[in-house]
Amino acid sequence: MHAALILILGLAAGSGATEALRARDAEIRAALPPSGAEVTPAARRRIEAIVTRAVDTQAIVQAALGNRWSQISAAQRRRLVAAFENRFRRASGSELDAYRSTQIEYLPEVEADGGVLQIPTRVVVKGEPTEIAYAMKRQRSGWRIVDIVIDGVSTVANYRSSFARIISKEGVEGLIKRLERGAPATQPGNKLGSEPESKP
């Protein structure tokens, strides 16, 4: 399953605690043209903005960096988060056609530590089933995605491993530059903010 589609599916969560996500899902569907029609650049930009608002990119980057977050400068933090968000925004505009026919089964929510709410789902896209759990945390602006667990694998954990590997060889500046130029910064199979790729 492609990266951007998984992120968009996170906006369709069907729980009382995530009513804001239902509204955003409705926004996405309203922005999509009829089936078979081409998504206009304006509609794509609107959908990218909707999806981006639903994800706490700074929390994801901070969790992926771990202790290194407190060791880098404020300027590096801003550049890193901005580069990650731009990369994520580009990815979120793809796979919109598949979203129309996606089947989603919402399972009972699970409360996790730190005020995080897990929203497990079973998703079928073009006959391909995937178990996806969205980790949500309430911010001042509402509930936002802070991690996605795909078939039992945490996206943030994947990033943590990949970021550490890159930083050990190229430093934080190397990681930032990779993200800024769109070079791979994740391990195979990562889905959050990565370039679109098929599930192995």
Number of domains in the chain: 1
Give pLDDT, residue 154. 95
Distance CA 89, CA 118 (A): 23
Whether 44 is covered by a domain: the verdict is: yes
Percent of residues in the chain assigned helix, strand, coil, to nearest 5: 55, 20, 25
Whether 63 is covered by a domain: the verdict is: yes
Whether 189 is covered by a domain: the verdict is: no
CATH number of domain containing 142 = 3.10.450.710
Whether 199 is covered by a domain: the verdict is: no
pLDDT below 50 — which residues of the chain?
Answer: 13-15, 187-200
Give pLDDT, residue 124. 86
**Average pLDDT of the chain, as a whole number:** 80
Find the helix packing angle between 74-92 and 57-65, rounded to 10°. 120
Give pLDDT, residue 59. 96
Whether 197 is covered by a domain: the verdict is: no
Give pLDDT, residue 199. 32
Give pLDDT, residue 122. 86
**152-173 pLDDT per residue, tens:** 999 999 999 999 999 999 999 9
Whether 200 is covered by a domain: the verdict is: no
Give pLDDT, residue 106. 78
* Structural domain of 133: 3-181
Point out which residues pair with 117 in neighbouring strands. Answer: 111, 136
Q: What is the dihedral of CA 85, 50, 6, 195, to 10 degrees?
A: -30
Whether 141 is covered by a domain: the verdict is: yes
Whether 166 is covered by a domain: the verdict is: yes
